[in-house]
C-alpha cells in the first residue's frame, strides 16, 4: 500500500492526502520535492492560493507568472520594470501555473507584486507608484482569466475596477469557466465615490450569468443613506443574488474601519433597495447572515421565511432586527457599542432552548447585566460556546457557568469591576465551578490573567487549550502553577499566548509540559 502511494499508483488517494496540507505551505513544498509523482499532485495544490499574505512571506513566485505571458506582454512587463530600476530574465515555466489558481483577491495581487519589487530592490519602504492600472497588475490578472483557471474565491474593491476596460471584460466574457465554480465572493463598494460604478455593474452582470454556485456572498458597503450613487448597481446586485442556486451565507455591511465613526453614534442604514428582499429566492438554502450597521426595515421580514437560517451575527445594528425571527437559531453573535439587554432577553426567551453558541461583545460595560445573566440561566441550558465581554465576574455569572453542563468553550474579557479585596476569593470560586465538560478557556483579554496561579491551583476542569495574556508569564507563581496543572491534570495540550510575545522569552521549562503557540493559532470563534 505504502509503496503504491509513493510510486504514484494511487493518485486519487494521494491527492486527498496532500489536499489536507493546502494551508501548510512549507510542508506541501517539501512533498513536491519527494519524486515526480508527488510533484505533479503537489504543485497544483501549492499554487491555488499563493497570494494570501499569511502563506507567502516572500513572493518569489511573481516572475514565474510573468514568464507565462506572451512575448508582447513580456516586453511590456520588461519596460515597466525598467522604470522601477529592475531587469528581468524570463524562464520557461515547468507547469501552466496560472491555471491552478483558485483564490484571488485583487488587493493581495497588487500587494504581493509590490513586495516582490521591494525585495528585488532591497528596499523596506513600499512602492507607491504601482497601481491597479499598471500592466504589472492587469496583465497577470488577464493571464489568470485566459489560462483556464476556475476560481473558488474572489474579492474586488471598487477602486480596483476603475480601469476595467475591454482588455479585461472581453476575456471574462469569452472565458466563462473563470467564475463558473465560484463559491465565495467579496465586493467592497464605496458610496462615497461614483468612480468605476459602470464597470462594477458590468462585472456584477457577468457574475450573475456565469456564477450560480456561490455559497458565501459578502457585500461590504460603506454606509451612506443619502447617496444615490448605487442606484445603478441595485438591479445587478439583486440579479446576482437571485441567480444563485444555493446561497448559504450572506454578509451585508461596511468594513469596520469605514464605519467605526458611526458605531458610537448608533448610525443605522435603513435603505436596502430590495437587496435584502432578494433573499426570498434563497429561503430554502440560507443558513447564516451577518449584518453590520443595519437598522430595522420591512425588508428583513423575508428572513422569517428562511427556515434553515441557524446563525445570525449583527454588529452595531438595531436589535429589533432579531424580533422577526421565529425559528431555530443555534448561533447568535451580537456586538457593538451598546447591548440592548431588554430586547435580547425577549429573543432568548423565544429560542434560547435551541441556542448552542452565544457571543456578546460590547464596547462599554453592559447595563442590566443581572437581567441578561438571569435570562441566560432561565432560557439557555444547552450552550456549548460562550463568549462575553465587559460583564465583570459577578456571582450571578458564576452560577450561570456552573449550570451550563454542556459548556465546552468559554471566553471572558475586559471588565474588572470586582472589588480588589474580593478578587482572590472570586477567582477561587470561579475555578471551582468550571464544568467538567470545559475544554477551552480564553482569558487573554481579562483581568484574570494576573490570577492564573490561583485559578489553576483550584481548577479541576480538563482544559485542553488555555489562552492567556503575556503578563501571565511575568509572575513566577503563574508559571509554576501552569506546570503543576499540566502534571496533575494531564489534559492541557496548548497554551495560546497573546500580544505577540516572543515564545522563546518564556523559557524552556514550561515547554517540557505543554506546547506554547501564538494566540491566533488556536483561538476559536463561534
Residue 218 resides in a domain = no
Q: How many domains does the chain have?
A: 2
Least confident piece of the model among 232-246, 322-336, 386-400: 322-336
Domain C-terminal end among 355, 390, 410: 410
Q: Provide the residue range defining the domain that includes 398.
A: 328-410
Looking at the predicted structure, is the pLDDT value of residue 147 above 90? yes
Residue 32 resides in a domain = no
pTM of the entire predicted model: 0.85
Q: How far apart are CA 481 and CA 478, in angstroms?
A: 5
Q: Tell me, what's the pLDDT at 85? A: 84
Give me the mean pLDDT over the 98-122 stretch: 89
**Same domain (yes/no): 447, 515:** yes
**Same domain (yes/no): 423, 472:** yes
**Same domain (yes/no): 345, 387:** yes
**Same domain (yes/no): 389, 484:** no
**Same domain (yes/no): 436, 484:** yes
pLDDT digits (tens, 9 = 90+) for 248-295: 999 998 654 434 444 444 567 788 889 999 999 999 999 999 998 888
Cβ(303)–Cβ(327) under 8 Å? no
Domain C-terminal end among 344, 375, 410: 410
- Between the two ends of the chain, the Cα-to-Cα distance in Å is 40
Residue 371 resides in a domain = yes
Which of 273, 274, 164 is CA-nearest to residue 228?
273
Residue 66 resides in a domain = no
Residue 348 resides in a domain = yes
Residue 141 resides in a domain = no
Residue 285: other Cβ atoms inside 10 A: 17
Q: How confident is the model at residue 376 (pLDDT cuts 50, 70, 90)?
A: very high
Tell me, rounded to whole angstroms, the distance of Cα 414 from its chain centroid. 22
**Same domain (yes/no): 392, 434:** no
pLDDT digits (tens, 9 = 90+) for 294-311: 888 899 999 989 989 999
Residue 449 resides in a domain = yes
**Same domain (yes/no): 429, 499:** yes
Which set of grid coordinates corresponds to residue 434?
A: 468550571
Q: How confident is the model at residue 339 (pLDDT cuts 50, 70, 90)?
A: confident
Residue 281: other Cβ atoms inside 10 A: 17
**Same domain (yes/no): 377, 359:** yes
Q: How far apart are CA 284 and CA 43, in angstroms?
A: 38
Q: Tell me, what's the pLDDT at 189? A: 75
Q: How far apart are CA 244 and CA 212, in angstroms?
A: 4
Residue 307 resides in a domain = no
Cβ(505)–Cβ(479) under 8 Å? no
**Same domain (yes/no): 401, 431:** no
Q: Tell me, what's the pLDDT at 171? A: 86
**Same domain (yes/no): 400, 471:** no
Q: How confident is the model at residue 17 (pLDDT cuts 50, 70, 90)?
A: confident
Domain C-terminal end among 410, 443, 470: 410
**Same domain (yes/no): 491, 460:** yes
Q: Tell me, what's the pLDDT at 265? A: 44
Q: Tell me, what's the pLDDT at 262? A: 40
**Same domain (yes/no): 393, 458:** no
Q: How far apart are CA 172 and CA 222, in angstroms?
A: 27
Sequence-separated (6 or more) residues with CB below 8 Å from residue 287: 248, 249, 308, 309, 310, 311
Cβ-based burial of 393 (10 A; exposed 0-12, middle 13-18, buried ≥19): buried
Amino acid at each position: 500500500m505504502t509503496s503504491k502511494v509513493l510510486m504514484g499508483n494511487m493518485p486519487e488517494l494521494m491527492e486527498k492526502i496532500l489536499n489536507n496540507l493546502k494551508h501548510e505551505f512549507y510542508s506541501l513544498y517539501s512533498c513536491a520535492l519527494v519524486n515526480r509523482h508527488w510533484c505533479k499532485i503537489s504543485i497544483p495544490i501549492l499554487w491555488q492560493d499563493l497570494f494570501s499574505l499569511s502563506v507567502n512571506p516572500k513572493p518569489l513566485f511573481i516572475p514565474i507568472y510573468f514568464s507565462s505571458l506572451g512575448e508582447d506582454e513580456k516586453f511590456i512587463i520588461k519596460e515597466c520594470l525598467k522604470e522601477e530600476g529592475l531587469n528581468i530574465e524570463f524562464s520557461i515555466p515547468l507547469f501552466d501555473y496560472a491555471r491552478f489558481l483558485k483564490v484571488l483577491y485583487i488587493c493581495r495581487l497588487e500587494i504581493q507584486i509590490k513586495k516582490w519589487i521591494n525585495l528585488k530592490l532591497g528596499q523596506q519602504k513600499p512602492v507607491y507608484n504601482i497601481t491597479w492600472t499598471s500592466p504589472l497588475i492587469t496583465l497577470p490578472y488577464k493571464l489568470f482569466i485566459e489560462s483556464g483557471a476556475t476560481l473558488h474565491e474572489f474579492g474586488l474593491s471598487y477602486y480596483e475596477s476603475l480601469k476595467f476596460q475591454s482588455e479585461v471584460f472581453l476575456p471574462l466574457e469569452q472565458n466563462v469557466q473563470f467564475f463558473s465554480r465560484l463559491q465565495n465572493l467579496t465586493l467592497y463598494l464605496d458610496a462615497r465615490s461614483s468612480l468605476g460604478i459602470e464597470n462594477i455593474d458590468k462585472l456584477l452582470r457577468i457574475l450573475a450569468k456565469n456564477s450560480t454556485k456561490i455559497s458565501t456572498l459578502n457585500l461590504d458597503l460603506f454606509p451612506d443613506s443619502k447617496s444615490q450613487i448605487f442606484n445603478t448597481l441595485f438591479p445587478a446586485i439583486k440579479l446576482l443574488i437571485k441567480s444563485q442556486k444555493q446561497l448559504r451565507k450572506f454578509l451585508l455591511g461596511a468594513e469596520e474601519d469605514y464605519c467605526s465613526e458611526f458605531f458610537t453614534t448608533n448610525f443605522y442604514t435603513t435603505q436596502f433597495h430590495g437587496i435584502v428582499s432578494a433573499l426570498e429566492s434563497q429561503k430554502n438554502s440560507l443558513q447564516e447572515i451577518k449584518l453590520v450597521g443595519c437598522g430595522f426595515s420591512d425588508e428583513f421580514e423575508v428572513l422569517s421565511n428562511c427556515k434553515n437560517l441557524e446563525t445570525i451575527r449583527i454588529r452595531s445594528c438595531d436589535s429589533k432586527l432579531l424580533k422577526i425571527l421565529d425559528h431555530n437559531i443555534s448561533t447568535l453573535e451580537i456586538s457593538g457599542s451598546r447591548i440592548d439587554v431588554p430586547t435580547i432577553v425577549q429573543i432568548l426567551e423565544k429560542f434560547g432552548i435551541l441556542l448552542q453558541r452565544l457571543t456578546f461583545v460590547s464596547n462599554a460595560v453592559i447595563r442590566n447585566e443581572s437581567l441578561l445573566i438571569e435570562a441566560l440561566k432561565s432560557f439557555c441550558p444547552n450552550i456549548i460556546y460562550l463568549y462575553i465581554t465587559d460583564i465583570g465576574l459577578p456571582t450571578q455569572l458564576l452560577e450561570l457557568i456552573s449550570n451550563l453542563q454542556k459548556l465546552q468553550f468559554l471566553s471572558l474579557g475586559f471588565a474588572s469591576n470586582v472589588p480588589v479585596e474580593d478578587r482572590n476569593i472570586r477567582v477561587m470560586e470561579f475555578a471551582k465551578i468550571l464544568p467538567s465538560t470545559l475544554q477551552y478557556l480564553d482569558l487573554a483579554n481579562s483581568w484574570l490573567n494576573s490570577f492564573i496561579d490561583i485559578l489553576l491551583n483550584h481548577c479541576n476542569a480538563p482544559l485542553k487549550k488555555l489562552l492567556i495574556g503575556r503578563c501571565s508569564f511575568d509572575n513566577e507563581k503563574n508559571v509554576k502553577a501552569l506546570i503543576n496543572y499540566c502534571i496533575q491534570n494531564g489534559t492541557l495540550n496548548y497554551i495560546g499566548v497573546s500580544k505577540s510575545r516572543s515564545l522563546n522569552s518564556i523559557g524552556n521549562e514550561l515547554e517540557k509540559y505543554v506546547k506554547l503557540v501564538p494566540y491566533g493559532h488556536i483561538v476559536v470563534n463561534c
